[in-house]
């Protein structure tokens, strides 16, 4: 069973950088089968895919967030990290990490989500 757990600060000030870490158990970040995504459902905006880290180390990002988003990983500890810079109150919401099967499976396991509030 694949499990993902998000962690990070619950409160970030405007203009600062948000860092969230997803810890994965039950699967390898370096296999050729899966990619690992960050997703958020900001209030009033619906579900928004932010980006993904693929098993080979390549990253993809949503065009609307590309300039502010970076995803990295620590394969030794089964972790991948979201970096979102220049945050504003509109970035407030619940952030999820999720497993994605690249051979047609689609999204599989999700983390429980972590609430992020952008406020001064």
What's the pLDDT tens digit per position in 50-71?
999 999 999 999 999 999 999 9
- The pLDDT assigned to 43 comes to 67
pLDDT in tens, 95-109: 999 999 988 899 999
- The pLDDT assigned to 44 comes to 74
Asked if residue 32 has pLDDT above 90, the reply is no
- The pLDDT assigned to 47 comes to 84
Place of tokens 């296999």: 31
- The pLDDT assigned to 31 comes to 82
How many whole angstroms separate alpha carbon 2 and alpha carbon 16?
A: 32
Q: Are strands 79-84 and 69-74 parallel, antiparallel or unpaired?
A: antiparallel
Q: CB within 8 A of 44, min separation 6: which ones? A: none
Copy the structure tokens of residue 65.
């967030």
Asked if residue 22 has pLDDT above 90, the reply is yes
Q: What is the mean pLDDT of residues 26-51?
A: 88
- The pLDDT assigned to 113 comes to 97
Asked if residue 73 has pLDDT above 90, the reply is yes
Asked if residue 13 has pLDDT above 80, the reply is yes
How many whole angstroms separate alpha carbon 75 and alpha carbon 57?
A: 10
């Amino acid at each position: 069973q694949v499990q993902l757990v998000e962690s990070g600060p619950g409160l970030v000030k405007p203009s600062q950088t948000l860092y969230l870490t997803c810890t994965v158990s039950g699967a390898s970040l370096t296999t050729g089968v899966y990619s690992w995504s960050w997703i958020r459902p900001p209030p009033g905006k619906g579900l928004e895919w932010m980006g993904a880290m693929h098993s080979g180390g390549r990253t993809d990002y949503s065009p609307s967030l590309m300039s502010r988003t970076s995803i990295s990983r620590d394969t030794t500890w089964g972790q991948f990290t979201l970096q979102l810079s220049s945050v504003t109150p509109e970035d407030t919401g619940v952030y999820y990490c999720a497993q994605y099967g690249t051979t047609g499976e689609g999204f599989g396991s999700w983390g429980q989500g972590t609430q992020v509030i952008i406020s001064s």
